[in-house]
Amino acid sequence: MDINLPNILSASRLAISFLFFIFILSNQPYLQLIALILFVIGSITDYLDGYIARKFNLTSNLGKFLDPLADKFLTTAAFASFVIMNLIPLWMLILVVARDLTTTFMRTKSEKSIITSKIAKIKTTIQMLFIFFTLLLVVYVNFFPLQDLSNKINDFLHSIYYDILMFFIVILTLWTLLDYSKR
C-alpha cells in the first residue's frame, strides 16, 4: 500500500467531506463557519496532494484513484447540502454525481491510465469556487440574518441567476464526461 503524504492528504479530504456535510447542515452559524473553513482546507489539500506527488515523485496508483475520488466526495457533499438547503434542484446533483460515478467507473475499468484532462481540472476549480462563494454567502446570511444585505444575498441564492450559474456547472461537468468518453 502506498502510504505517503499526498495519499494522506487525499484521504483526509474524505474525512473533511463528512465533517463538512454535518456542520453545514447544522443551522448553527459557527458550525457553518467551520464547514466553510473545512471546505477551504479540503480544497487546498486537493492542490497540495498533486503538487507534492509530482514534485517529489510520490505518484502512485492509489493516489491516482484516491485524489479524484476525494474531490468527488467533497463536491458531492457540498452539492448535496445545497439540495437539502433548497439552493439547487435535485436533478442537478444527480447529473453531477452520475458523471462522477461514470468517470470513476471508466478509470477503474480502463486498461490504460486515464489522466485527468485540463478541462476536468478547470471544471473542478470552477465547482470549488462556486461552492466556496455559495458557502460564504450562506455563512454571512446566517451570521447576520436581519440585515438588508442578507436579504439580498438570500434572494440571490434563490434566484434564476444562481440557478443559471449552477446550470453552467452542470453543462461543464457533462462536457468533461464527453471528453473522458472520447479518450
Domains in the chain, number: 1
At 55, which CATH number? 1.20.120
Q: Cα separation of 159 and 177, whole Å?
A: 28
What residues make up the domain containing 26? Answer: 5-182
pLDDT of residue 113: 67
Mean pLDDT score, 26-46 = 96
- In the chain, where does DSSP find H-type helix? 5-24, 29-55, 61-84, 90-109, 118-143, 148-157, 160-182
pLDDT digits (tens, 9 = 90+) for 106-131: 777 776 766 778 888 899 899 999 99
Q: How many Å apart are CA 110 and CA 126, to the nearest integer?
A: 27
User: Looking at residue 1, what is its pLDDT?
Assistant: 59
